[in-house]
Amino acid sequence: MKRAIERAIHYVGLELHKPRMILDETHEARLVLGGGKPEGWPHEIPPLSVEIFVKTNGDVLPARVFCDASDGDPVMSIAGAMTLKDCTCDLARLPQVLKDVWAERQELVARQRGGERVREFDGRFRWRWTSM
C-alpha cells in the first residue's frame, strides 16, 4: 500500500514525504499514510497527503486526500488556509485524483498570490477556508 501511495505521489510530480504504516487495533486495520511535497518544500508538513485504512481481512477502504492551498507553514499559520474538504477515492483512481487536486491547489495559490481573497471554491473538489 505504501508503494501505491508512492507511485501516486510521483505521478503528480512531487517528492514522497515520510510514508508510514500504523496498526490501529481499535478499527482492526492498518493505517497507511504518505505525503507529497514539491522539491525544496521548507516545512515539516507536506501540502498534500493521503491516508488509507486496510482492514485485517484485506479490505481496502477509500483513500482520503488532504491538501492545503498555501505555501506557508500550516503549523505556524494563525490566519488559516484554503483546505480541501471531503475528498475520497478508490485506490485505482488515486493517482489521477491527486494530480487533479494538485492542479486546483496550484490555481488557488496563484489566485491568492495575485491578491484575490478566496474564501471558498467549488471546482472539481470542494475547498473551504479553515482556521488552524
Give me the residue label for grid cell 488557488.
108
Q: How far is 37 from 15, CA to CA, in rounded Å?
A: 5
Average pLDDT, the chain: 92
pLDDT number for residue 118: 86
In tens, the pLDDT along 117-128 reads 888 999 999 999
pLDDT at 15 over 90: yes
Give me the residue label for grid cell 471558498.
120
What mean pLDDT is predicted for residues 12-16? 97
pLDDT number for residue 76: 57
pLDDT number for residue 114: 92
Strand order through the sheet with 15-24: 15-24, 29-37, 48-55, 63-67, 87-89
- 8-12, 47-51, 111-115: least confidently modelled range: 111-115
Q: Quick one: DSSP state of residue 68? A: B
Contact predicate 74/132, CB 8 Å: yes
Measured from the Cβ of residue 71, the count of other Cβ atoms closer than 10 Å reads 14
In tens, the pLDDT along 17-32 reads 999 999 988 889 999 9
Q: Quick one: DSSP state of residue 38? A: -
Residues recorded for the chain: 132
In tens, the pLDDT along 33-57 reads 999 999 999 999 999 999 999 999 9
Positive or negative CA dihedral for 94, 126, 100, 102? negative
